[in-house]
Structure 1
Amino acid sequence: MIDWGKVTELVADVGADGFDEVLTLFLQEVETALQTIALAEDLEAALHFVKGCALNLGFEDFARCCAEGEALAARGRPDEVDLETLHRIYWQSRALFLSEVRERIAA
């Protein structure tokens, strides 16, 4: 669900303080995007943005779900994008991430 190697690389690149800022920004941006994604004029672009955010922080399953939705939207089938599953996977990933991140990056 989480690519902890990616998280470790990010911490090494930006430092612990920088990581906290990146994490806060990520959570804010993704949660804001998810609140309005169903209303997005360009669902493909909205999912592409969220997917990029997810990949940067190692949210693998969530990024995969975004990529699947992005591909559907690109093929002109945005009504087939399962936004409920997208939300569920994000919140599951978020819960796992926040419950383990301090222990994982301290190791």
Structure 2
Amino acid sequence: MPAQAAGFDNIVVSATKGGEPQSEFPADTPVVYLSADLVDIPATSTITFSWISIDSHGVAPANYTIDKVDLHVGENTEADSQLSKPTAGWPVGTYRVDLSIDGTVADSAPFSIR
């Protein structure tokens, strides 16, 4: 049986920390949370969560990086990140969170604001 590649599992985007997976959120959602299990990622690695606006109908450029969060893996077996609602509310559109290991995207989690 081949060894499993380093990566992420059980990726959840939700309106509450530890909540049920969601793919769509209303524009007044206070915070969008992401959590993921870390699978065979070396303790010396850095993981990055990049919050990206794919298409916000002109509010931001296409594929605009809203925020990035870097985390040192260490002994962690799970990680999470969150992004708070902008003051004027979330722009309607499509978004994703890219999950990277040492600078290389390993997975993505899409969601939309309606």
Q: TM-score, structure 2 length as denominator?
A: 0.24
Which has the larger helix fraction? 1
Which has the larger strand fraction? 2
Q: TM-score, structure 1 length as denominator?
A: 0.25
